[in-house]
Structure 1
């Protein structure tokens, strides 16, 4: 499908040449040049990454597509100049623009069509305990990965009973090895068997510290090493982020003012108590601040918390309780629609929060964090963020930390824009809200 998208892009380039130049010879030459566009794309590796990657987005390959468009345009231009077919002028500016724009759009559409037509990759997880369970849950939480878990088999059972051969008959495409006790002999066995059967093999690192996208495999003097990168956003990114925060927060405050007034009236009529709820939350570097929300609970909710749950008995920190009896009728609607978060625009304007970032936790819950969990305090908390987009209330505490770590380690202005766009779909679909 990607090949078809690139061929169509090249045909659009031919149309652009004819439309801009009106030269029949130049148009025929651009048609004859069509296979070269495909060859350049192949040399750029633009047909290979989807085979190796479970979830590959077109936006990830924009730098390669830019190189493809520049290379293809220059080569076509030099060919026309060398054959005295045409001069290097505005025709080639048009060729470049049409090539890059059409390639990005058509490749994105091709991937959408591919995911609808081609069945998901069938995956067997081989492993034991919490690591295998975490792998299964993550694959189920991210359906866009386009995989389906068909079986979970203990490591020793798979190795001893030849489960691979049986599962191969069932059409397994990939084995994910998630074993707590991974040694060299076990890994070598799985690599050999999967290679012989033509099954893709992925290995989940058994060491917690090896998780995270800031960890890269590099070579130093031909020695393979795992490198742990630090994550600090460039100053220019922080300036852009703050500019976006202030601009959007100001605009949204004005646009949403009538709706906020209706929400305030509904809260006042529904139950006694203040309209705005404030609570101490942890901001960047652990600095406490007062977060603003529309009240969704009864007036004495904090005092009644001990009647609902004992924090010290919880297996992990929580920020919301499913089926909480303290939530009011209007509060349930506000939570499902995320309208209770609107007053946090004031927190954004004050610089205490950002539009996008990790969820701001209660001070009492942060006090219970282990040292390795405090990384999320390195950035400003956000109204929305990876947790809200990738599961919300369905995520366990460890899964929330994982998606937030990935966000912090790979923070960029473009990613913030993407998360804001995805948030709209999550809010409209009310996924994971309670």
Structure 2
């Protein structure tokens, strides 16, 4: 989003915040209705397809069951009105779980499974209630897949509307410190939040202190804590995001007291470590005390499974090409210069665990001696960790780097579970200190053969820009981002050889 577009959008929001709030409320009603109608239609389609597959195609585990269409029609007419309220009880229409992350799909799976368990229980309680087991199994699988698919498509439609600045929820950020600014930047940058950040609320206790801060990062400081009720009313605020590190205990209590009397306003509390850690947090209870625990890994189990499945599937289907290519490159390296075919570089993986990353050797075995002749290049290497004109690189090595084939042996690291096809750049233990506190983020995901920094300029980028892109990838990870990087961005970059040296 350009600065001009963002400014115009904010002007429109401030001129008519009531319209934005009304749009958001109207949108939520429409979205819930679309989900409800879509879920009903998907259930009907799933049950019909299961019947067709069982009794027309003949997929079965119990051939003795005789099809009685009227029996299954009555059953479907009972199940759909029964399952939809069950879905509501299991919070499938609750906006706390909609339009963000994979929790919505997990809950859809739990809901269809619970619904099918009711049917199975009924068949045990009433012996006269006979039903095809194959129909049950296929109905469960199809209903789960179709309902998740329906929600996936509706989510894409919602994101498209948000990108057009429609149906956004007016939002205030309480706090003006570094965490508050990081929260505002992220919420404004992402098109999938559904929030329109109007500005900040200062934690200064007096109006004069608040007036000293007229704006932060292009957003206005609208007032202080004393003005919060008035700001919520005047700007028709639907959500408040609290930067917890910006408030004292008493101030935080006051915010909750103020918002408690406004049921239409959602209040969200940041972890206090947003700008430092990307892994997220979970709330558990010990006795009567709710405690927040930091997730050690950035990806949840489902995301990790999908990422690994993508890695292994692509490698498996590429083996007929990769095996001969490995052999040819190995022979060419041996013919070009003396030394081993592979080079091992000690790098950091998930959790800071060290491992050897494999590459085809691209340098002369006496590279240190060669570089010692060029003190200026040594200094450049120390500063940027890259040399555009490196005297240590062999003839074959230059070609391998230009085509990125030197990275291919890292597929072995992917198969060993140490790397992924897409991820942040791998770093050595010595280099980790240059990431500062951001190192904690980098070590929560596997490093990748390719990633945002590789497809955004590779070695032509400054070191700071590489770090920023790595953090951007980690914060915004999705399986769709991996697919985009692999198939839309990586191939053109490799073919052009841009930034490869």
Structures share a fold, TM > 0.5?
yes
Is 1:88 the counterpart of 2:104? The answer is no
* Distance in 1 between residues matched to 2:153 and 2:231, nearest whole Å: 36
Query: Shift of residue 7 of structure 1?
Result: 1.0
* Distance in 2 between residues matched to 1:288 and 1:18, nearest whole Å: 52
Deviations along 1:329-387, whole A, 9 cap, x unmatched?
Answer: xxxxx999988855533554687644355531145412546589368558763325798
Query: Shift of residue 103 of structure 1?
Result: 1.8
For structure 2, list consecutive stretches of 5 or more residues without a partner in the other structure: 1-33, 56-66, 205-209, 211-222, 330-340, 363-369, 391-399, 494-498
Please tell me whether Structure 1 or Structure 2 has the larger radius of gyration of its CA atoms. Answer: 2
* Distance in 2 between residues matched to 1:140 and 1:172, nearest whole Å: 16
Partner of 2:176: 128
Question: How is 1:371-382 mapped onto 2 (pairs within 5 angstroms)?
Answer: 373=439, 381-382=447-448
Query: Shift of residue 211 of structure 1?
Result: 5.2
Partner of 2:239: 174
Match of 1:40 among 74, 82, 86: 86
Query: Shift of residue 225 of structure 1?
Result: 2.9
Query: Shift of residue 388 of structure 1?
Result: 8.1
Partner of 1:204: 270
Deviations along 1:203-231, whole A, 9 cap, x unmatched?
Answer: 22336799564643222221233345666
1:137–1:396 CA distance, 2 compared to 1 (3 A): farther
Match of 1:100 among 125, 134, 144: 144
Query: Shift of residue 129 of structure 1?
Result: 2.6
Match of 1:59 among 86, 89, 105: 105
- Three-state SS of the structure 1 residue aligned to 2:224 is helix
* Distance in 2 between residues matched to 1:248 and 1:70, nearest whole Å: 35
- Three-state SS of the structure 1 residue aligned to 2:83 is helix
* Distance in 2 between residues matched to 1:16 and 1:188, nearest whole Å: 54
Which stretch shifts more, 69-78 or 395-404?
Answer: 395-404
Deviations along 1:222-245, whole A, 9 cap, x unmatched?
Answer: 123334566699xxx999998986
Which stretch shifts more, 361-370 or 336-345?
Answer: 336-345
Which stretch shifts more, 177-186 or 335-344?
Answer: 335-344
Question: How is 1:151-162 mapped onto 2 (pairs within 5 angstroms)?
Answer: 151-156=199-204, 157=210, 158-160=223-225, 162=227
Is 1:144 the counterpart of 2:208? The answer is no
1:257–1:127 CA distance, 2 compared to 1 (3 A): farther
Query: Shift of residue 75 of structure 1?
Result: 6.2
Partner of 1:193: 258
1:222–1:201 CA distance, 2 compared to 1 (3 A): same
* Distance in 2 between residues matched to 1:173 and 1:162, nearest whole Å: 16
Residues 86 and 111, structure 2, Cα contact 8 Å, conserved in 1: no
Deviations along 1:103-148, whole A, 9 cap, x unmatched?
Answer: 2222222322333346343432222232112112322444333434
- Scaled by the length of structure 1, the TM-score of the pair is 0.65
* Distance in 2 between residues matched to 1:239 and 1:112, nearest whole Å: 23
1:241–1:46 CA distance, 2 compared to 1 (3 A): closer
Q: Alignment length, in residue pairs?
A: 390
* Distance in 2 between residues matched to 1:290 and 1:94, nearest whole Å: 44
* Distance in 2 between residues matched to 1:337 and 1:197, nearest whole Å: 59
* Distance in 2 between residues matched to 1:389 and 1:2, nearest whole Å: 37
1:42–1:422 CA distance, 2 compared to 1 (3 A): same
* Distance in 2 between residues matched to 1:338 and 1:427, nearest whole Å: 14
* Distance in 2 between residues matched to 1:388 and 1:76, nearest whole Å: 56
Partner of 2:44: 11
Residues 359 and 383, structure 1, Cα contact 8 Å, conserved in 2: yes
Partner of 1:331: none
- Scaled by the length of structure 2, the TM-score of the pair is 0.58
Query: Shift of residue 29 of structure 1?
Result: 4.2
